Amino acid sequence: MEHVLITGGSRGIGAATVRAFARAGYAVSFLYLSSREAAEALAAETGARALCCDAADTEAVLAAVRAIPPVDVLVNNAGISHVGLISQITPEQWDRLFAVNVKSIYNTVRAVLPAMLAKQAGAIVNLSSMWGQAGASCEAAYSATKGAVIALTQALARELGPSGIRVNAVSPGMIDTEMNAHLSAEDKAALAADTPLGRVGAPEEVAQAILYLARAEFVTGQNLPVNGGYL
């Protein structure tokens, strides 16, 4: 049975991904930071292993990976957002965005890579965003982190491909999650109207794309948009 590790797994897209991989027959471990009650409920529901860990903390990630079986599939879903003018973002907020959205990928890849290299096999799926492709006004820092995720994905695909390790990204569009709870009903309706499919997406739809990339044995270095045709 293949083992998948999912970061940011207690809510939203992460929780949907935990459920999708569990239903597909994977052994599942996931990291969470603050949503302990939700994490424990999800673990009980799916049989997954929940570990409290800040994915931006290098040593904490190494310790978490040592506590679980070798990882065959890594899903880097942990992420935070920030809405505001660039002139209003503090240095601390900027650094935290890059730590969670980008450095966490370095942390987890570094931790799981020895086992993947030993097997000469593995799959890594990183979560970017359509704003990492196009950029969003008042989300400059978030857009910058997600653009970095796409570049990192492509670079790692080239670096790790000769070792049989595939690296891809998924770029969700407007998805109905807590991260987008700050948007008004009018804003969500406007985004849905601008989407060719005429609606916002569901976390489960992103999870299916992640599961596909975990299994697609001749796909690497790609960024799969899941945005209803918005971009």
Which residues are catalytically annotated?
142
Cα distance between residue 22 and residue 35, in whole Å: 20
The values of phi and psi at residue 125, to 5°, are -125, 120
On whether the CB atoms of residues 39 and 32 are closer than 8 A, the answer is yes
Q: Give the H/E segment covering residue 154.
A: helix 140-160
The total of other beta-carbon atoms located within 10 Å of residue 34's CB is: 11
Q: How many CB atoms lie within 10 A of CB 52?
A: 15
Q: Quote the CA–CA distance of 127 and 150 in Å, as a whole number.
A: 9
Cβ neighbors of 169 (< 8 A, separation 6 or more) are 125, 126, 127, 128, 149, 150, 153, 222, 223, 224
What order do you get walking across the sheet with 122-127 strand by strand? 49-52, 27-32, 3-6, 73-76, 122-127, 165-172, 223-226
Return the DSSP state at 189: H
